[in-house]
Every structure is written in structure tokens, then in C-alpha cells.
């Protein structure tokens, strides 16, 4: 590493794992702390303001999703002066580790969460499971969970064949069944694509009075990446912190998909497979009027030529 002391503005890209952890530790300890939690987890806390964002992330995800190879919560720290607690894992662990349980026990015993006006738990996929599960440690917290699993206990979710290597891991002890752990939350929001069958089945298990399920049809199986690419993750978190997030506000933010080519391509493929020629014409005409999209232009030309041939 460079002799220059890293800061929250420093890009941590292309560092070795050891150097990256050292940089995260140095930055965190300026206004907080860094704590190793066993072989595969760590906690990084930076205090900045009365809103606390608790994110669950993986080392690998941070490297891919952040242009600076920084935890996602640091954007909210920089731009909105939020405090941030990052729980990170090396690989997907679902944070099923006694060291994590003991750490949250200590936070509860110390009244850590009581020091903040607003507490938000956030994660995606396995990390969304953890965000929901550990939110019980901060009653009245708000939770944003993207494509969460409810549990990987095969007695309940043997239909999910994606994570069979985790079936021997205990999901029945402390902080185990994520939907039950949301009972103390002020509000929780579960985002999923209903066309992703297994994600939708897990989402159904989160049905609770304080849980709002927000559907993202035709978006696919990487919703966190899509929200980041559309620039909508930070607005979602801000709406949640302000108590403004509901189905209507989400629908307003989700209009960004109309200019998001990966979503539009998914829609193009689905309509093509369903042979919905009229809807394809409308879609391709709309997209080509608003942006440069060669694939949509080719499809539009082909549809128009085929229609002219039938008329002739």
C-alpha cells in the first residue's frame, strides 16, 4: 500500500485482500472501529450522524459493485452524513456464525442502537436474509431486503435447490428464521421479481403485517446491481429513512426502468417468446424514439417489413 493514509475518499480498487482489509480498518478507526469476527467476517463502524445504516455485504460483492471497492454504505456516509455499520463476509455465509451472534448480543447489551434516531438494515440475497434476521436486535428498525431468503432449513425450503451446500448449516437456532425476526421492525420492504420463481416463493414467506412486498417484474435475478445501475438504491434508502417509502413512492422511483436497457431487453425477449407482435411494435417504437438501441431498431424494421409483406 501507499504510505499515504487512506480516507473515505480513497479508491481501494486493485488492492490485495490483506491490504484492502488494512485500509478498511484504518479508515474505520478514524471515527469508529474495525473488528474481526472470526475467519470469514468483520465489522466496520463509522459514526457521522443520527441515522445509522447497517449493511450486510460480501468482500467479493464490494469489489464488483463499488467503483472504489468500498462498502455500499459509504456512499450514504459521504453524501448524507449517515453513520454506517458494515458487516462483511468472505463469500456467501448468510452470516450464520456464533461470532456474529455474540457481536450483536454485545451491541444490544451496550444499547448501541438506542444512540441513533433512525436505524436501517439493508442487504441483498444472502445478505438480505442477514439484514432481516439481525434486525431483531434493533426494535423499531426499518429494513430493506432485496431478494431475501427466509431460511435454508431444508425442512421448510427443500424446494430451493440453489444452495444445497448450505443445508447442513444451522438455520434453526438464534437469529434463524428471518421472517419471524422482522416482527419487531417498524417496517420492512422486500423487493423481488415475481418471475423468478424461487425468489417469489421466499418472498411469500415474509408475509407479515409490517412487511411490504415490492415487485420488480421482468427485471431478473440481480436486482441490487440493477438498482445501482439505475441510480435508485440511494433514493430508496433515503425514502425509507424519511418514512416516505411505500408502494406509490417505489412505483415512482421504479419508473427509471423505462430508460434502462437491460430491463427493456428482458421485456423484448419475453414479448418475442410470447409472439406478441403488437406489443413488440409498440415497445420497439417507443424505445427507438427515445434512445439509440440498434437491437430494437432491427426488430422494429423486421416487424414492419413482415407486416408490409402480409398486406401486399
| CB neighbourhood size of 9 (10 A) | 10
217 and 138 inside one domain:
yes
Range of the domain at 270: 262-311
222 and 291 inside one domain:
no
194 and 149 inside one domain:
yes
163 and 219 inside one domain:
yes
| CB 88 within 8 Å of CB 25 | no
> What pLDDT, in 10s, does the model give residues 242-254?
999 999 999 999 9
Please check whether residue 44 lies inside any domain of the structure: yes
**Secondary structure, 3-state, the chain:** CCCCCCCCCCCCCCCCHHHHHHHHHHHHCCCEEEEECCCCEEEEEECCCCEEEEEEEEHHHHHHHCCCCCCCHHHHHHHHCCEEEEEEECCCCCCCCHHHHHHHHHHHHCCHHHHCCEEEEEEECHHHHHHHHHHHHCCCCEEEEECCCCCCCHHHHCCCCCCHHHCCCCCCCCCCCHHHHCCCCCEEEEEECCCCHHHHHHHHHCCCCCEEEEECCCCCCCHHHHHHHHCCHHHHHHHHHCCCCCHHHHHHHHHHHHHCHHHHHHHHHHHHHCCCHHHHHHHHHHHHHHCCCHHHHHHHHHHHHHHHHHHC
The CATH number for 238's domain is: 3.40.50
96 and 137 inside one domain:
yes
| CB 120 within 8 Å of CB 186 | no
248 and 305 inside one domain:
no
Distance of alpha carbon 41 from alpha carbon 53, whole angstroms: 18
Please check whether residue 189 lies inside any domain of the structure: yes
75 and 210 inside one domain:
yes
Please check whether residue 78 lies inside any domain of the structure: yes
Please check whether residue 1 lies inside any domain of the structure: no
What's the pLDDT score for residue 303? 87
What's the pLDDT score for residue 305? 86
Please check whether residue 10 lies inside any domain of the structure: no
> What pLDDT, in 10s, does the model give residues 111-124?
999 999 999 999 99
What's the pLDDT score for residue 60? 96
31 and 124 inside one domain:
yes
Count up the domains in the chain and report the number. Answer: 2
Please check whether residue 8 lies inside any domain of the structure: no
266 and 247 inside one domain:
no
283 and 148 inside one domain:
no
134 and 282 inside one domain:
no
172 and 295 inside one domain:
no
Mind listing the pLDDT tens digit of every residue in the chain (312 residues)?
Answer: 556 789 999 999 999 999 999 999 999 999 999 999 999 999 999 999 999 999 999 999 999 999 999 999 999 999 999 999 999 999 999 999 999 999 999 999 999 999 999 999 999 999 999 999 999 999 999 999 999 999 999 999 999 999 999 999 999 999 999 999 999 999 999 999 999 999 999 999 999 999 999 999 999 999 999 999 999 999 999 999 999 999 999 999 999 999 999 999 999 999 999 899 999 999 999 999 999 999 999 999 998 888 777 776
Region label for 129, one of left (φ > 0), alpha (ψ between -120 and 50) or beta (otherwise): alpha
Please check whether residue 2 lies inside any domain of the structure: no
Dihedral in degrees, nearest 10, Cα atoms 206, 208, 214, 217: 50
Amino acid at each position: 500500500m501507499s504510505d499515504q493514509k487512506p480516507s473515505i475518499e480513497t479508491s481501494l480498487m486493485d488492492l490485495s485482500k490483506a491490504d484492502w482489509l488494512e485500509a478498511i480498518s484504518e479508515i474505520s478507526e478514524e471515527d469508529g472501529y474495525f473488528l474481526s469476527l472470526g475467519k470469514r467476517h468483520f465489522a466496520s463502524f463509522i459514526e457521522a450522524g443520527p441515522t445509522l445504516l447497517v449493511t450486510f455485504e460480501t468482500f467479493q460483492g464490494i469489489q464488483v459493485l463499488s467503483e472504489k471497492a468500498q462498502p455500499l454504505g459509504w456512499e450514504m456516509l459521504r453524501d448524507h452524513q449517515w453513520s454506517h455499520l458494515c458487516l462483511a463476509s468472505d463469500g456467501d455465509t448468510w452470516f450464520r456464525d456464533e461470532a456474529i451472534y455474540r457481536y450483536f448480543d454485545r451491541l444490544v447489551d451496550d444499547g448501541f442502537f438506542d444512540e441513533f434516531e433512525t436505524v436501517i438494515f439493508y442487504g441483498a440475497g444472502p445478505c438480505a436474509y442477514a439484514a432481516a434476521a439481525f434486525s431483531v436486535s434493533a426494535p423499531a428498525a426499518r429494513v430493506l431486503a432485496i431478494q431475501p431468503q427466509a431460511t435454508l432449513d431444508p425442512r421448510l425450503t427443500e424446494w430451493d435447490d440453489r444452495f444445497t451446500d448450505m443445508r447442513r448449516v444451522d438455520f434453526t437456532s438464534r437469529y434463524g428464521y428471518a421472517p419471524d425476526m422482522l416482527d419487531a421492525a417498524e417496517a420492512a420492504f422486500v423487493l423481488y421479481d415475481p418471475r423468478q420463481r424461487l425468489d417469489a416463493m421466499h418472498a411469500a414467506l415474509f408475509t407479515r403485517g409490517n412487511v411490504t412486498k415490492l415487485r420488480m417484474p421482468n427485471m431478473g435475478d440481480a436486482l441490487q446491481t440493477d438498482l445501482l445501475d439505475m441510480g435508485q438504491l440511494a433514493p430508496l434508502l433515503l425514502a425509507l429513512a424519511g418514512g416516505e417509502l411505500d408502494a406509490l413512492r417505489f412505483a415512482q422511483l421504479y419508473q427509471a426502468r423505462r430508460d434502462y436497457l437491460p430491463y427493456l431487453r428482458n421485456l423484448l425477449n419475453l414479448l418475442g417468446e410470447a409472439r406478441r407482435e403488437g406489443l413488440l411494435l409498440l415497445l420497439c417504437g417507443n424505445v427507438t424514439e427515445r434512445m439509440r438501441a440498434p437491437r430494437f431498431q432491427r426488430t422494429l424494421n423486421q416487424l414492419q417489413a413482415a407486416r408490409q409483406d402480409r398486406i401486399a
